[in-house]
Amino acid sequence: MRIILSVAFLGGLALGSPVVAAPFTGNDIYSACTNQTGQVQQGFCYGFIFGSVEAMKWGALVGVVATSPDKIPQSEFDLKSSVALGFCIPPNAENGQILDVVVNYLDENPATRHETARTLIQYALAASFPC
């Protein structure tokens, strides 16, 4: 009985299909952000865009910290990480403004919406908020 179960288990592993996580594209984000009736889609839109922006900032900040031998002021960290990302969001920019910038970029560049959403978010911010 043990052999039969082992063979069945191994056979199931051999026949199973791998799960591949595909990154979200600009099409996915544009669809969610322009859906005026779905609260879930709107929440996904906001969460993905602002989560991506914060993740980009954090990743750049980690890179700056790793390459800075001495303690430097927070303002210098912020500037270095923004320059590394290619965008400098003004401190008084509101979340709605950032959302509009990304959605407008996706609307005006339909030929690139197949690219990853995180890349397009970075392009949108760099185009609107250059350093």
Read off the pLDDT of residues 28-58 as tens digits, 9 standing for 90 and up. Answer: 999 999 988 888 988 999 999 999 999 998 8
Does the domain made of 23-128 have the CATH classification 1.10.890.40? yes
Distance CA 113, CA 69 (A): 40
Distance CA 56, CA 81 (A): 9
Residues 6+ apart with CB under 8 A from 42: 32, 33, 35
Question: What are residue 116's DSSP bridge partners?
Answer: 25
In percent, the amount of the chain with pLDDT more than 90 equals 49
| C-beta separation of 106 from 26 below 8 A | yes
Q: How far is CA 34 from the centre of its chain?
A: 18
Domain edges within the chain: 23-128
Q: What is the pTM of this model?
A: 0.76
Under the banding of pLDDT at 50, 70 and 90, the label for residue 10 is very low
Which residue, 28, 80, 78, 77, is CA-closest to 49?
Answer: 28
